[in-house]
């Protein structure tokens, strides 16, 4: 193998850093290999993985999304949070930091692209632009999946809602706008709000 080709291949390690980027979301589980119970933060890589699974659910079961380009939808989700390798995650509760989130990410994207294997560098730039601008049906879908995944993930952790200040009003403010283009997403979002309310998630 050409040494230059292998050097290019080794740059995929940049993506592996997503496994080490903590999000504000919880991740509690028992590790049977080490016989240890962990209470830690979810990583960005875990979020991307569950986004892909959630996207597969909607693409497979909901007629509204039947004509979407499946591969493009998956790839948009694969790349949508890679910028956090440089910027780290900014949670929705970090209100002051979020004022500068978009600008910080736009500055970081070209920096990150230079660290990636040839071919994937341009893919990052193209998919990041498409995702941010929502110029395609697939990018609107991917944005909806990103937000829906955050909600679904937190079904497992009732204490991350009301006790941390997340009531129906601010959940609607943060999440509803990205779903409003889609009758399917709105249907699931309203069902989610009803589930959270009926199960007492919003109680402090």
Q: What is the CATH number of the domain that holds 136?
A: 1.10.3210.10
Burial 16-39 (b: 16+ CB within 10 A, else e): ebbeebebebebeeeeeeeeeeee
Tell me phi and psi for residue 92, to 5 degrees.
-70, -20
d(CA 12, CA 171): 36
- Domain holding 139, by residue range, is 44-198
Decide if 3 is inside a domain.
no
Give the total number of structural domains in the chain: 1
Decide if 140 is inside a domain.
yes
Q: How far out from the chain centre does Cα 60 lie?
A: 19
Decide if 163 is inside a domain.
yes
End-to-end, the C-alpha distance of the chain in Å comes to 60
For tokens 């709105």, what's the residue? 186
**What residues form DSSP beta bridges with 31?**
36
> Cα dist. 68→57, 95, 123, 130, 133 in Å?
13, 34, 19, 15, 17
Residue 117 burial (C-beta neighbours within 10 Å; 0-12, 13-18, 19+): middle
**Dihedral sign from CA coordinates of 13, 19, 20, 23:** positive
Decide if 16 is inside a domain.
no
Decide if 131 is inside a domain.
yes
> Is-contact 144 188, C-beta < 8 A?
no
**What residues form DSSP beta bridges with 30?**
37
For the chain, the maximum distance between any two Cα atoms, rounded to a whole number of angstroms, is: 61
The DSSP letter of residue 47 is: H
Decide if 22 is inside a domain.
no
User: Does the pLDDT value for residue 204 go beyond 80?
Assistant: no
**What residues form DSSP beta bridges with 39?**
28
d(CA 70, CA 58): 11
d(CA 31, CA 21): 20
pLDDT, one tens digit per residue, over 84-133 is 999 998 877 777 778 889 999 999 999 999 999 999 999 999 999 999 99
> Is-contact 13 38, C-beta < 8 A?
no
Q: What band does 165 get if pLDDT is binned at 50, 70 and 90?
A: confident
Decide if 143 is inside a domain.
yes
The average pLDDT across 63-83 equals 98
pLDDT, one tens digit per residue, over 37-71 is 999 999 999 999 999 999 999 999 999 999 999 99
Q: What is the pTM of this model?
A: 0.95
Decide if 15 is inside a domain.
no
């Amino acid at each position: 193998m050409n040494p230059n080709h292998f050097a290019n291949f080794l740059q995929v390690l940049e993506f592996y850093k997503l496994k080490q980027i903590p999000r504000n979301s919880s991740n509690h589980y028992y590790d049977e290999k080490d016989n240890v119970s962990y209470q830690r933060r979810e990583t960005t890589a875990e979020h991307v993985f569950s986004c892909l699974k959630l996207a597969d659910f909607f693409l497979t079961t909901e007629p509204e999304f039947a004509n979407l380009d499946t591969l493009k939808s998956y790839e948009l989700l694969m790349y949508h949070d890679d910028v956090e390798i440089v910027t780290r995650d900014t949670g929705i509760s970090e209100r002051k930091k979020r004022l500068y989130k978009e600008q910080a990410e736009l500055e970081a994207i070209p920096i990150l692209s230079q660290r990636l294997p040839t071919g994937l560098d341009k893919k990052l730039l193209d998919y990041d632009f498409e995702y941010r601008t929502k110029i395609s049906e697939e990018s609107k879908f991917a944005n909806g999946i990103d937000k829906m995944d955050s909600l679904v993930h937190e079904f497992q952790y009732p204490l991350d809602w009301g006790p941390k200040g997340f009531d129906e009003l601010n959940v609607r403010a943060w999440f509803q706008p990205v779903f409003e283009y889609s009758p399917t997403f709105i249907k699931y979002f309203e069902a989610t709000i009803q589930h959270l309310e009926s199960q007492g998630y919003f109680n402090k």
